[in-house]
Structure 1
Amino acid sequence: MSAPQNRLGRGPGEKEPLSRDLRHQREQLWGPIPPHERRLWSNALLDNPPTDLNTIGKQQNMQLYGRDGIVMNRLWVAVARHWDDLGLSAYEWLLQRNTLVDIVEYKRNLERDSEATKDHWGDCAEQERREWTSATLRFPPMFLGATIMALHDNHARKTGITNSKTWIELALEFRAAGFTPEEFVVLNTQVRKFHKRGQANSLITTTWGLNNIQFVRLDAQQWTNWLERYRAGEDAVELTKELLGSNGLKRE
């Protein structure tokens, strides 16, 4: 049974509040982008629609946009999240599309500031960046939705080097702990075999992504002992089994 309406407290032009389900759906779609930036992206996307919408889609999109200035089309939001994850604001996205008049000035500033603000790889050499990109594409740190993941993966494969801060942070964390990209792949391959069998373990750390999909996202510092023993010649399968076996969690 729905809660009674507060007819006396709402003016004639005031809209009903968004439902809990709709607010939850919006949070899942937009993820970490804050509300004021969601409005900027919504305006940018309306000016440059990424996809064509049918009549019903347009009505739904504009109906929600009219509430608080935020669109809710999944493909449109996926575009915003893709470029936001690559470090671009809605304004910069519009500039890249030549929809604002100062594109020349933007490009000049971008070239001047690119090393300081856009390069999250630090001192990692180009070939190493490519190897880490390939490794983290196989074992991503989280799930951002099928559309966004496809956009990210296509961009990373095309350029050879990911610009996603989340993916780069994963690579640099394991690099700082002494791992090579190949060793990162070996470790994650073995851990996921164990995880798929449904065995809980304190060493198998995870992250939650879009649609409550859980992804294995290991903590590099918890696996330095594994790395030392693996490099000493121990078998990866047996070594991983031993370490995970000693850190198993009891089922309640």
Structure 2
Amino acid sequence: MSAPENSPGNRPAEKAPLPRELRELREQLWGPIPPHERRMWSNALLDNPPTDLNTIGKLQNMQLYERDGIVMNRLWVAVARYWDDLGLTAYEWLLQRGTLVDIAEYKRNLERNNEPTDPWGDCPEQERREWTAATVKFPPQFLGATVMGLHDRHAKQTGITNSKTWIDLALEFRAAGFTPEEFIELNTQVRKFHKRGYENTLVTTTWGTRNIQYIRLDAQKWTNWLERYRAGEDPVELTKELLEPHWVSTQ
């Protein structure tokens, strides 16, 4: 016979409330930053630690983080407070660390002359949206789970990425004559022909955080593919033919 619904053994484990002293310390450390933003900052700091921690520091940090998603290291929280005081969110902090567009510099330029440099150049808005969708589908590199998640969410919400790495990829292929749809087709086909233990000189790769390798094609190496694809050749056979002479064993 099944146990009663209200049986203590069936109840989910409840977390013990934080001691009052720890709650007060957390409020003192994080100050005016609201809880949901504290969690965003905690994720960003864990992916991009501002300082090294000893074993005890890591344990204490993760014990609290795993409980409610908020880190408690004083130096780490100080980094969040510093940038928050300057008006930057956790996402913008990740951007200004050099992986994406420098939001801090963007804001300073905006305050100086109200005419900041547009990383998209003369690319029309609709094309920016189409290229954003294409490069989110085939990103140029891996920047950590938090950065990738924040970037993709921002790109989908606004429709236009503000990541310099993603924008550079889009503009490179645009300058070589590709449309976003052709960029997607090329990247889709190239990924079908990966060979374990081999590299291909036509396939450029990038190394992101945690040594995750990403395919990041060089547009100029694929202009011949584009001409023949537009002439009506089958993209599968065309891609296979162009890749075939360029496989190099790594074993």
Instruction: Give the shorter-chain TM-score range.
Output: 0.5 to 0.7
- The residue that corresponds to 2:178 in the other structure is 179
Distance 2:230 2:183 in 1: 12
- The residue that corresponds to 2:93 in the other structure is 80
SS at match of 2:73: helix
- The residue that corresponds to 1:169 in the other structure is 168
1:56 matched to 2:60? The reply is yes
Identity of aligned residues (%): 58
- The residue that corresponds to 1:17 in the other structure is none
Would the alpha carbon gap of residues 216 and 110 (structure 1) be closer, same or farther in structure 2, given more than 3 Å must change?
Answer: farther
> Offset at 1:192?
1.1
- The residue that corresponds to 1:89 in the other structure is 104
Distance 1:234 1:111 in 2: 50
SS at match of 1:113: coil
SS at match of 1:249: strand
Please tell me whether the aligned partners of residues 95 and 103 of structure 2 are also in contact (alpha carbons under 8 angstroms): no
Aligned residues: 185
- The residue that corresponds to 1:22 in the other structure is none
Amino acid at match of 2:120: W
Please tell me whether the aligned partners of residues 80 and 90 of structure 1 are also in contact (alpha carbons under 8 angstroms): no
> Offset at 1:198?
5.5
Cα deviation digits, residues 71-130 of structure 1 (max 9, x gap): 8xxxx97662145524212995xxxxxxxxxxxxx797278123xx2x111111111111
Would the alpha carbon gap of residues 160 and 70 (structure 1) be closer, same or farther in structure 2, given more than 3 Å must change?
Answer: closer
Distance 1:175 1:243 in 2: 21
Q: Residues 1-252 of structure 1 correspond to what in structure 2 (within 5 A)?
A: 48=33, 50-51=37-38, 56-57=60-61, 61-62=73-74, 80-82=93-95, 84=97, 85-89=100-104, 109=111, 112-114=114-116, 117=117, 119-195=118-194, 199-252=198-251
- State TM-score, norm by structure 2: 0.63
Distance 1:220 1:159 in 2: 26
Please tell me whether the aligned partners of residues 156 and 163 of structure 1 are also in contact (alpha carbons under 8 angstroms): yes
> Offset at 1:200?
1.9
Distance 2:158 2:164 in 1: 15
Would the alpha carbon gap of residues 126 and 110 (structure 1) be closer, same or farther in structure 2, given more than 3 Å must change?
Answer: farther
Which consecutive segments of 4 or more residues in structure 1 shift more than 3 A? 45-50, 76-79, 196-199
Distance 1:173 1:208 in 2: 19
Cα deviation digits, residues 216-247 of structure 1 (max 9, x gap): 00000000111111111110000000111111
Would the alpha carbon gap of residues 111 and 163 (structure 1) be closer, same or farther in structure 2, given more than 3 Å must change?
Answer: farther
> Offset at 1:61?
2.2
> Offset at 1:70?
6.2
Task: Name stretches of at least 5 consecutive residues in structure 2 with no aligned partner.
Answer: 1-29, 43-58, 65-70, 81-88
> Considering only CA atoms, is the larger Rg found in Structure 1 or Structure 2?
2
Distance 1:198 1:77 in 2: 39
Would the alpha carbon gap of residues 48 and 205 (structure 1) be closer, same or farther in structure 2, given more than 3 Å must change?
Answer: same
Question: What RMSD over aligned residues (CA atoms) do the two structures have, in Å?
Answer: 3.4
